[in-house]
Structure 1
């Protein structure tokens, strides 16, 4: 009886165990939502569960706003790209918005947003922490407005200061641009929103951008534009890369197997997805096989929705493999898993967006990136007891923004509505942060003159202790400016005011360099770029010394167009009737972009890359270069604040290889010091800045030999020299 009971109990236990094991092994209804699995495995499981229709739905977005082709799609937020939710699979709607400087569409809270200053201002900070904070700000606002993919992360190099879209980018040097954009992308994606590095590749002018071919030797491309992308991707780990409009050496970027498959995906190990630009898709099978994973809003912007019926037919014919289709889908889903889009979907209802705090982030970014170009007789900082006349630039209302898809509608509205052009790439927008208001809080007496009449402006200037003239030059996506001149007779305005009052400060709100025929007469000049939503307050704080300028130019500032690799841009100008060129020859400068071009051609720019003044002075001592315990090259220097106010300095390290050639920025740091304080800083040198591309070996190569190392205040102002002996090596940029 006892044995029978024991056998019965044992049988029950075994049965119960087997039942429990079976229950534990039963997969949940959506096994891809198991966070214990890798993003790759989760994406594979989800792809395996999808129907063909669901796959083809994910590899194409719709335009998310009303157009002449359709009304606003149901569920879309009036945004750039939209894919409906797939509840069966647990997939939320994909909501994409332009957000290079801030969220451009109202979103679920139906409100404007806060804009950072121009990307060039962030780059001019020479501080990745500033870029990271800006990325977090934009990512947070996007999430609060219901967006989960941001078209942000512009890393195209500034090859020509007339490019209308330079303000979105991060300068002329690949190391600076790559590290700064990488930091921005990282900040965005910390908010569980996908960022998109763009426009891949060599999209360095806007004239004829949809068809023009950027002609450049592949090695030179590797060492310039592609290096910037490589670094941005390695440091930022973006979920997506956007292909460019233009052709590269004759092939459309979105159909370029070498760019997308060989370089981006295989060599760099990029595991995210490649989306087309809006109007940048041209085929089905060719593009898919070349590495394009998603067509953007093709029903509105492209000749055809290539990634639906045409691609289905291509797969059925065997022109595109089913494995490739699955790879396209997997790459999108993997990025969603990696960056939290599926595990922590954006709120369906409006989230709370901290606009006031975000405006401080934008203000701080401009304070770190505004560049003081001139300050004769220590005119700046201003004393608070002076009378000031503020002239021009709508400075009584706000600060100018760049145009095109990145233009942010400020949460506080547009204080200067109706400016031309009101249609694309406008409307021209201002941010409601009026410099006059903030200067008025600090001056003993303040007045405003619109600057439309130079004679009247000069009279107003003569009656004040100090004049502050705001000059503007609007630029935008889709066109380049034909020259570097200021529009609307502003040179005459500045000249008249300077003649009436030598204590005149000129504040530039521009896309970048402009000619300044009056420069030698100006008391001070501050480059404020496009200042962003906190711009008015930042400018006032800089002018009054509440914070010292610390920005350094992220690009070379030419004297005029004759110093550029190309004297003209064919088809430049808003609404130009001239046919754009079919090709543009970047082999003229090759990899020697910007300051390297000036060194190579022995030309002296008006202001060099890395240049910038402040309200104090710094001294360098003890410059040396050695290798750390891991064999990495590191420069060391003691920086001392020898002035009377606190400030920040940017010691820069430039290197020339044993085979000669032009100097390259290899590292820098930004150090803030109080008066009299000093600090020993270490500056790690980027191996890729010391390397050259070995095309035969398909790898980066650091040549053995002696490297000439210079400590600079800018690209043409050096304080110390050293040498560095290196063995041959083959540096690798690790994939994220």
Structure 2
């Protein structure tokens, strides 16, 4: 905690009038696809964004100007003609396993935000991937709390290093989008601490975000924004979080959320649409006048907002930063390169090595609008890049988010980029409209590259794991017509692969951002050696998941529903380890055009667990690897956990010694009775591997019993 910022916050808050205090407790949404009329509380000349909170000029307190931000400074519908760097989806950043890249991405967002006048970025999505149908998984980093917390923290640090406040969101268990305003997420409290809340705890303690945004959903029967156990008991109590808690937009049905830990009502016009009123304006003031809302709580809410302003420095901006869009494009490109995962390769990739030099290689590129660009996820994270979208197809749907459900294509064509990189090949394109038509081109080509895409976004879950619009049938037909078929997936989630045995290679490119077409082409052509690792498990089908049937799926918008997260803390790869199932592709999996060996695993307990080992590039090409350290057994039995990772770049034949310090919470269980973490004494088995399903070295260590933390 920044003691000086806290003292300033107390001193300034004491000088405010009650009218000024209340003015800081709401944010007003700018005009967009949902809010079409400009709110008179937003002054002329203020850039339209997700939220506006007035400043107090007499005391040097700036207005808060907020923008959505997970994948760049969001702009569709807000500011006509405005553009920003469109980063790859957060799931792609998660697949990079690269904290430094997360920091650079955050710096990019913070700098561009500040150049546009925004001093709050609604970034930092650290919810876990609990369900492979969740329409918003592309905005989140992974299914693992350590990977998510570490990368999420670096992103927040990058943003706030530019004197722009970042949130972390959505606190907590915003893990399904179906009727999210009426969804009750039920979970064992100890399991909650060991998984989803641990990701938030790691991100918050490592980065100090100015604000935490709550989720739309209930948690164990109580809305997240009014959940006293989460907000007062854990976030502000056990963790000592000094910043402020804001609601998600339209997630404050009642003024008494202010009594339970929420400090600011965000996007008040959406609350009017949802609940028929603004909660923190007239109702909260009336409660204050009646003595039902105490003065000390009002002061605490305001001090938290002021603390974040002073701690991050939004009150001391000097000038407008220069923005190097070319350098930012390089960050977007590098994120896409490092995030693309080569799932399968039966010798067909890279394309540079598939035919003799004196033979013209004939390549069929099929489907996915590859002649135009690459898709992005729909919803509040959408970003318009320089030059605008290549194309927008309106899809629509029920509820508030239906208007934003579109297929947005960024103008980075994989087809055009492949032609640049492989000028001596013959490349033809087929749109993939029908299996029969696509097979005609595939049959007379040496290699067929089929693009499979899916529109995923905020407000909607996927009904299953299939590719829409008959794309699975197209892939089947192409694979039947051409034995050298490669599938490139541009999705925000795992997909079922009924055609997997028929194709020779599968590439998970996710939503790869404004330079995604180039990054995909570089991987296919061998210019870039793939190094991405899966940040979530790919199941063979929904029958392998904790909830084969998703509660509430298909019900009308507005239907209350309950989702029991009965897997508890055994999320993703942990669930597969617990149930003994073999996934389609495990967490951490990702192939390369070279190979890596591990040796000399050593485990030391010197007041903390340190693990050392050597990584060697045993193959013919320069490449990057991500060795992963796992807990396999503790004194209570089998218990799989990712304990650490490090991204390593090596030349052919090169070696490097890696040291990992293990956070003790990853070895522990949370005891809700004592309110502490507990590590039982005894023997622990650790494993070093290439994924959660491929361990190469194991070692045992004996640890003493320990109780720690809150």
TM-score (norm 1): 0.91
Are 2:595 and 1:625 equivalent residues in the alignment? Answer: no
- How far 1:381 sits from its partner (Å)? 4.8
Determine the structure 2 residue equivalent to 1:50: 16
Superimposed CA distance per residue, residues 352-404 of structure 1 (whole angstroms, 9 cap, x where no aligned partner): 53222211111101111111000002532534963322111111111000101
Instruction: Please show how residues 16-55 of structure 1 align to structure 2 within 5 Å.
Output: 38-55=4-21
Identify which of 421, 430, 436 aligns with 1:442: 421
1:604 lines up with 2:573 in the alignment: no
* Residue from 288, 293, 299 that aligns with 1:315: 288
| Alpha-carbon offset, residue 64 of structure 1 | 1.8
SS of aligned partner of 1:295: coil
Query: Which structure has the bigger radius of gyration?
Result: 1
Matched, 1:531 2:512: yes
Question: Where does residue 548 of structure 2 map in the other structure?
Answer: 567
Note closer, same or farther for the CA distance 1:407–1:229 as it changes in structure 2 (3 Å cut).
same
Q: CA deviation at 1:243?
A: 0.9
Contact 2:145 2:199 in 1 (8 A): yes
* 2:130 paired with 1:159: yes
Q: Select the residue among 597, 613, 620 that pairs with 1:637.
A: 613
Contact kept, 8 Å, 1:388 with 1:465, in 2: the verdict is yes
Paired with 2:327 and 2:333, the residues of 1 have a C-alpha distance of 10
The equivalences for 1:425-436 within 5 A come to 425-436=404-415
Equivalent position SS for 1:368: helix
Task: Report the count of equivalent residues.
Answer: 689
| 1:355 and 2:325 aligned | yes
Q: Is the 8 A contact 2:628 2:690 kept in 1?
A: yes
Match of 1:115 in 2: 86
Following superposition of structure 1 onto structure 2, how do residues 118-157 of structure 1 map, counting pairs within 5 Å?
A: 118-157=89-128
Q: Distance in 2 between matches of 1:577 and 1:213?
A: 16
**SS of corresponding position for 2:291:** coil
Tell me the equivalent position of 1:343. 316
**Using the alignment, how far apart are the partners of 1:499 and 1:668 within structure 2?**
40
**Closer, same or farther: CA 438–199 of 1 in aligned 2, 3 Å:** same
Structure 1 unaligned regions, length at least 5 = 1-35
Contact 1:61 1:295 in 2 (8 A): yes
| 2:421 partner SS | coil
Of 688, 698, 721, 2:665 maps to 688
State the 1:512 CA deviation. 1.3
Does the CA-based 8 Å contact 1:254-1:276 persist in structure 2?
Answer: yes
Worse-matched range after superposition: 195-204 or 542-551: 542-551
* Contact residue 99 and residue 154 of structure 2 kept, 8 A: yes
Identify the residue that residue 74 of structure 1 maps to in structure 2: 43
2:563 alignment partner in structure 1: 584
The aligned counterpart of 2:65 is: 95
Task: Give the C-alpha shift of residue 297 in structure 1.
Answer: 1.8
Distance 2:147 2:80 in 1: 35
Give the structure 2 partner of residue 424 of structure 1. Answer: 403
State which drifts further: 527-536 or 465-474.
465-474
1:50-103, CA deviations, whole angstroms, 9 ceiling, x for partnerless residues? 111111011111112262565473243221100233322222221101111111
Please tell me whether the aligned partners of residues 65 and 77 of structure 1 are also in contact (alpha carbons under 8 angstroms). no
The DSSP-based 3-state class of the residue aligned with 1:377 is coil
Aligned-partner SS, 2:50 = strand
Q: State the alpha-carbon separation in 1 of the partners of residues 528 and 598 from structure 2.
A: 22
Q: Return 471-480 or 57-66, whichever deviates more.
A: 57-66
Distance 1:148 1:176 in 2: 27
Alignment counterpart, residue 331 of structure 1, candidates 304, 314, 320? 304
The equivalent residue for 1:282 is 253
Alpha-carbon distance in 2 for matches of 1:419, 1:115 = 20
Matched residues in 2 for 1:194 and 1:660: separation? 43
Q: CA deviation at 1:507?
A: 0.5
Query: How far, CA to CA, are the matches of 2:305 and 2:528 in structure 1?
Result: 44
Give the Cα separation in 2 of the matches to 1:424 and 1:227.
Answer: 34
Provide the C-alpha distance between the structure 2 equivalents of 1:584 and 1:47, rounded to a whole number of angstroms. 41
Q: Which residue of 2 aligns with 1:728?
A: 705
Instruction: Tell me if structure 1 keeps the 8 A contact 2:48–2:79.
Output: no
Deviation string for 1:529-566 (max 9, x for gaps)?
01111101111111122221111111110001111111
State whether structure 2 residue 436 is matched by structure 1 residue 455.
Answer: yes
CA distance, structure 2, for counterparts of residue 300 and residue 362 of structure 1: 32
1:306 alignment partner, one of 266, 275, 279: 279
2:688 aligns to what? 711
Q: Structure 1 residues 313 and 71 mapped into 2: Cα distance closer, same or farther (>3 Å)?
A: closer
RMSD: 1.9
Aligned with residue 55 of structure 2, among 67, 77, 85: 85
User: CA offset at residue 635 of structure 1?
Assistant: 1.2
Alpha-carbon contact 1:687-1:731 (below 8 Å) kept: no
Residue number in structure 2 paired with 1:259: 230
Query: Aligned pair in 2 of structure 1 residues 331, 510: CA closer, same or farther (>3 Å)?
Result: same
1:518-557 equivalences under 5 Å are 518-557=499-538
Distance 1:37 1:580, change over 3 A: closer
Question: Which runs of 5 or more structure 2 residues have no equivalent in the other structure?
Answer: none
Equivalent in 650, 657, 671 of residue 673 of structure 1: 650
CA contact (8 A) 2:421 2:522 kept: no
| Alignment-derived partner of residue 653 in structure 1 | 629
Equivalent residue of 2:690, what SS? Answer: strand
TM-superposed CA distance for 1:181, in Å, is 0.7
Distance of 1:583 and 1:571 partners within structure 2: 8
Offset of 1:467 from its aligned partner?
A: 1.8
**Local SS of the residue matching 2:181:** coil
Closer/same/farther in 2, CA of residues 247 and 345 from structure 1, 3 Å limit: farther
* Distance in 2, Cα, partners of 1:59 & 1:496: 58
Contact kept? 2:271, 2:278, Cα under 8 Å:
no
Q: Secondary structure at the match of 1:424?
A: helix
